[in-house]
Amino acid sequence: MKNELALLKKENKLRTEFIPEEDRDMIRRMSQYMSSRRIGAFDVEVTRKELIGMALGAMQDGESLQTVIGKDEKEFCDDIIENSKKTLVSEVLLMSILRGIMYYGIALIASVLLFDVYGKVTFDSYLLIFAPLWALFCVIIDIFIGERYSYEEGFKKYIPMIIFCVSLFICLFLEDYLLPGVVVEVSRGLVLGIVIVGGVVLKFIYDSYINYIAKNYHWRD
């Protein structure tokens, strides 16, 4: 199943290569600002597509995007935000749950591959307490800074990923020093199988929801 939002982002990324760097930086700043105001992800990307189109038109006329907009970029964004659909609580909740499960799966797989090498997965304080807390931490990072940094270029774009990896490494490194106590042991193959199947199911749910939202937009026109 194709993810409509991912396709739109890919199209926008390709089209930005044909506009001047000044306009590209302006669109990046505006996209970051709008995403930080918690409007729908499709609203941000559809607006980004329209801005890229305006920049391409301005370039053909020998003008800049700023000239075409004719006002302060923040003021322009505020006007867009005022007329955009706000992110629904249900959308934020669903995405947070899906991301939380995904991050917990990552923490689980990392622990299994690094430490549980004898065919059994030990569900101790790491997997029952600290891994869920790490997953919650990642979801919070995703919500507040992840989307904004996705519009960055170069090293800055990977800052959230670096935060995730470093924090997970710290949790894994401290695993032997965390609260002791084995609760239950489960077959390693069973756990990995459940994680893989669960990941496929979550991906399907996520893509289905994104494509359901995409029906309200005619971004291919």
Each residue's pLDDT tens digit, 26-69:
888 888 788 766 677 777 888 888 899 999 998 888 888 888 88
> Residue 152 has what pLDDT?
67
> Residue 52 has what pLDDT?
92
Question: Same structural domain for residues 43 and 75?
Answer: yes
> Residue 200 has what pLDDT?
83
| pLDDT < 70 positions in the chain | 1, 36-38, 85-88, 90, 115-121, 146-148, 150-153, 175-183, 188, 218-221
Is the distance from CB of 46 to CB of 218 less than 8 angstroms?
no
CB neighbours (10 Å) of residue 88? 11
Question: Same structural domain for residues 77 and 123?
Answer: no
CATH number at residue 73: 1.10.1900
Final residue before a domain boundary, out of 82, 97, 129: 82
Identify the residue whose tokens are 């005619």. Answer: 218
- Residue 6 amino acid letter: A
Question: Same structural domain for residues 95 and 127?
Answer: yes
Number of domain units in the chain: 2
